């Protein structure tokens, strides 16, 4: 009996289930979080942005910047496939694209505002090179995704993401990510508190996103995710 259980446990999981687990960890159904992003540029200088996130359902996302002062009051909104940015000095929302870079850093807008791999990608398991991790190779289902393909390593023990490689349509690796400091933000909910996105085209560039607070105990009204709510 024990041998049977171990055999079954060692069997490869369903890729769809893995992606669902990834989405549950990186983009839970509803949450509020505070994070900072430090973008390091070619010359070694860096800029740090502080922000607050709010998410509801699979495709509704709000983001408010609070630091530095030059971007305070700037907001972003995702609703379905639509993204807007609200610039306080412009006093209105402007549409932006999923593939635009997020605050000029090495994440793009969809990396931050669109965590929905189960819906956006088809995947297959490939050799991970690590007995403790699964590796999933993902291929974009449609054009709204950030990347044409992704290789994602997930820890076997708890499905936590460990690293990722992100490829453009030419097949060239554009970025790579390491997920670390896995932290239990709430009882029963653990996710990486630190994500470092390395720019693989300009090796001296990278961006680090550190989540300091995260709660799943939120139920924002749908109006919070409408264009009319921006800059209110």
Partner 1 sequence: MLGLVLIAVLHADDPAPEPAPEEAPPAFKHTVEINGYVANRLGYGRSRWSGLIPTDDSPQWLNMTELNAQLKVGYHEHGFVYVDTSAIALAGFDYRLMNAEGFEEYQLTRDSPAARPLISINEAYVLQEAAPWLNFMIGKKRIVWGPGLAFNPTDLLNVRKDPTDPTFQRAGAWLARIEVPLESSAFTLLFAPQVTQSAFGIPYGFITHPAWNKQDDQPHYLVGARAYFLVADTDINVLAYFSNKYFDDFENKVRTGASVSRIFFDTWEVHAEALLQQGSSRTYVEHECVADVMAALACNQQKRAFASRSRLDDTTWLPVILAGVRKTFDDDSFLSVEYLFQADGYRPDQYQDLINAFDGINQARALGLALPAGASLLIPNAGGGSDQATPSRFSFAPTGKHYAFITFNKPRIKDDFIAQLVVLANLQDLSTLWTPSIAWSTTEWLQLSLIGFIPVPGPDALAAKVPSTGKYISEYGSFPQLFRVFFEVRIFY
SS3 15: helix
User: Quick one: which of 29, 97, 181, 213 contacts partner 1 (CB under 8 A)?
Assistant: 97
Site string for partner 1, 15-44 (x = CB under 8 A): --x-----------------------x-x-
Q: How far is the CB of 229 from partner 1 (least distance, A)?
A: 6
Site string for partner 1, 99-138 (x = CB under 8 A): xxx--x----------------------------------
Q: How many CB atoms lie within 10 A of CB 128?
A: 17
83 vs 112: CA distance, rounded Å: 12
Q: What is the 3-state secondary structure (H, E, C) of 31-44?
A: EEEEEEEEEECCCC
- Indicate the residue among 47 and 180 with the shorter CB distance to partner 1: 47
User: Quick one: which of 58, 116, 190, 227 contacts partner 1 (CB under 8 A)?
Assistant: 227
Residue 48 near partner 1 by CB under 8 A: yes
Q: How many CB atoms lie within 10 A of CB 119?
A: 15
User: Quick one: which of 28, 29, 91, 210 contacts partner 1 (CB under 8 A)?
Assistant: 91
The region, left, alpha or beta by phi > 0 then psi within -120 to 50, assigned to residue 130 is beta
Cβ atoms of residues 96 and 196 within 8 Å: no
101 vs 205: CA distance, rounded Å: 13
Residue 226 near partner 1 by CB under 8 A: yes
- Footprint of partner 1 on 50-89 (CB under 8 A): 68-70, 72-73, 79-83, 87-89
Number of residues that bind partner 1 (CB under 8 A): 52
Q: How many CB atoms lie within 10 A of CB 60?
A: 19
Residue 158 near partner 1 by CB under 8 A: no
Tokens of residue 67, six digits: 């630091």
Chain-centroid distance, C-alpha 24: 11
- Indicate the residue among 57 and 181 with the shorter CB distance to partner 1: 57
Interacting residues with partner 1 (CB under 8 A): 5, 8-11, 13-14, 17, 41, 43, 45, 47-48, 68-70, 72-73, 79-83, 87-92, 94-101, 104, 143-144, 187, 217, 221-229, 232
């Amino acid at each position: 009996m024990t041998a049977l259980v171990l055999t079954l446990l060692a069997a490869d999981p369903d890729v769809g289930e893995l992606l669902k687990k990834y989405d549950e960890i990186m983009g839970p159904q509803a949450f509020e979080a505070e994070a900072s992003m430090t973008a390091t540029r070619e010359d070694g200088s860096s800029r740090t942005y502080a922000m607050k996130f709010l998410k509801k359902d699979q495709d509704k996302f709000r983001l408010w910047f609070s630091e530095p002062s030059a971007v305070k009051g700037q907001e972003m909104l995702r609703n379905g496939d639509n993204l807007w940015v609200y610039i306080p000095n412009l006093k209105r929302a402007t549409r932006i694209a999923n593939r635009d870079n997020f605050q000029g850093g090495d994440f793009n807008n969809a990396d931050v505002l669109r965590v929905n791999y189960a819906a956006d990608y088809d995947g297959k398991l490939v050799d991970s090179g690590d007995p403790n991790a699964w590796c999933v190779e993902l291929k974009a289902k449609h054009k709204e995704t950030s990347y044409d393909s992704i290789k994602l390593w997930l820890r076997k023990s708890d499905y936590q993401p460990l690293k990722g490689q992100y490829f453009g349509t030419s097949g060239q690796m554009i970025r790579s990510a390491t997920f670390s400091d896995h932290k239990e933000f709430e009882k029963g909910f653990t996710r990486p508190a630190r994500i470092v996105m390395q720019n693989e085209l300009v090796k001296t560039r990278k961006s680090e996103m550190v989540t300091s607070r995260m709660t799943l105990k939120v139920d924002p009204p749908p109006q919070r995710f409408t264009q009319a709510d921006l800059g209110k």
